[in-house]
């Protein structure tokens, strides 16, 4: 959702640092999360005011601006309300940097997936390669470090695992193995 809103902010020519304009837009935007796109590039699709934003969610422009937009308290307030509304529909799996601490602090199970910065950078680089030529690893590392610093230092819902989250380090672990670990937690719960 934050990436989709960031994409809309950029599409509308709004400065990602403009707190008032981004907050205004966040309160009025219609975001719809749907099934994954057919190409399997994302875990879900996202429509923004009726337009499919999914192909643009990982663009370099959105990547650079998403932490700037998502650190804005008014943006967080509006999107947390949307996320909570989505969770009211029944059992749900949500991914995000503050789901367990701010969005659903009373969730039955909170899993915090972690990985070293190098592993995360390699994954991001592979993901970027699907859309064309990947940026150099050093550039990806620098962008991840910048985003982590912004997200960890923001006043509203800083990035951190919830106190009661199960932390799983995913370095060198396949997606299937991570899913297996999470499902075992669900079954044990």
First to last CA, the chain: 28
pLDDT above 90 coverage of the chain, percent? 65
Choose between 51 and 151: higher pLDDT.
51
Query: Is 14 within the bounds of a domain?
Result: yes
How far, CA to CA in Å, does 109 sit from each of 90, 130, 189? 14, 32, 8
**Secondary structure class of 33 (helix, strand, coil):** strand
User: In the beta sheet, which residues pair with residue 45?
Assistant: 34
The pLDDT assigned to 39 comes to 79
Neighbours of 58 (CB within 10 A): 17
Cα→Cα distances 162→69, 71, 107, 109, 157, Å? 22, 18, 11, 11, 11
Residue 32 CA to residue 45 CA, distance in Å, equals 8
Question: What is the rounded CA–CA span in Å between residue 74 and residue 176?
Answer: 37
Residue 53 belongs to some domain of the structure: yes
**Residue range of the domain that includes 47:** 1-91
pTM above 0.85, yes or no: no
Structural domain includes residue 30 = yes
DSSP, collapsed to helix, strand or coil, labels residue 80 as helix
Does 10 have pLDDT greater than 80?
A: yes
108-143 pLDDT, tens digit each: 999 999 999 999 999 888 888 877 778 899 998 998
On whether residue 62 sits in a domain, the answer given is yes
Task: Check residue 110 and give its pLDDT.
Answer: 94
Domain contains 6: yes
Distance of CA 49 to the CA centre of its chain: 19
In total, how many domains does the chain have? 1
Match 């912004």 to its residue by tokens. Answer: 150
Return the pLDDT at 38. Answer: 84
* C-alpha–C-alpha distance, residues 127 and 151, integer Å: 21
Residue 28 lies in a domain: yes
Q: Is residue 108 part of a domain?
A: no
Tell whether 58 is covered by a domain.
yes
CATH of the domain at 53: 3.40.50.300
């Amino acid at each position: 959702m934050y990436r989709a809103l960031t994409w809309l902010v950029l599409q509308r020519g709004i400065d990602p640092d403009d707190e008032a304009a981004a907050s205004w837009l966040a309160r009025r935007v219609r975001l719809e999360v749907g099934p994954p796109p057919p190409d399997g590039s994302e875990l879900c699709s996202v429509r923004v005011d009726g337009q499919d934003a999914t192909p643009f969610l990982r663009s370099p422009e959105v990547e650079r601006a998403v932490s700037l937009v998502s650190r804005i308290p008014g943006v967080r307030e509006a999107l947390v309300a949307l996320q909570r509304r989505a969770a009211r529909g029944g059992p749900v799996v949500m991914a995000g940097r503050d789901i367990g601490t701010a969005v659903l602090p009373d969730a039955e199970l909170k899993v915090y997936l972690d990985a070293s910065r190098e592993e995360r950078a390699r994954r991001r680089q592979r993901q970027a390669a699907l859309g064309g030529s990947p940026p150099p690893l050093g550039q990806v590392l620098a962008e991840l470090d910048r985003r982590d610093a912004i997200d960890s230092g923001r006043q509203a819902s800083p990035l951190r695992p919830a106190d009661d989250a199960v932390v799983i380090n995913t370095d060198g672990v396949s997606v299937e193995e991570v899913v297996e670990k999470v499902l075992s937690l669900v079954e044990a719960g």
